[in-house]
Structure 1
Amino acid sequence: MLRKVRVVRNLLGGCLFSAFLFAGEATALEPEHEVRRLMLATESAVQGGNWEQASEYLSRLQQMESEKPADYLYFRGRVMLESGHLNAARSALESYIAKTGSEGEYYTSALAMITRVETAREGARSVAGQAASSPREPTAVIEPAGEGSLDQLRELYLADSDTEALVIHLNALLDRAGWTADRRIKRLDRPADLSYQVYRMNDSLKIQESRRDNSGRVTHKSESLSVFGVNTSINWDCEPAAAACWIYDPRDGSRLMQLAEKHGVAAEVARTLGKLIRTMQNRS
Structure 2
Amino acid sequence: MVLTKKRRIPVARPWLAGLVLSSVLVVFASQAQGLEPEHEIRRLMLATEDAVSGGRWGEAGEYLNRLQAMEGDKPAEYFYYRGRAMLQARHLNEARSALESYVSRVGADGQHYQQSLKLITDIEKENKASARALIEGGASVKEPVAVIEPAGREDTKALRSLYLAKTDREALTIHLNALLDANGWRKDKAVVRLDRPADIEYRVTLDGSVLNIQEIRRGAGDTTVRKTSSLSVYGVNPQPRWDCETVVAACWIYDPRDGSRLFQLAPNQSQVNEVAQTLGQLIRNLQQGGAGS
Larger radius of gyration: 2
Q: TM-score normalized by structure 2?
A: 0.48
Per the normalisation by structure 1, the TM-score is 0.49
Higher percent of residues as helix: 1
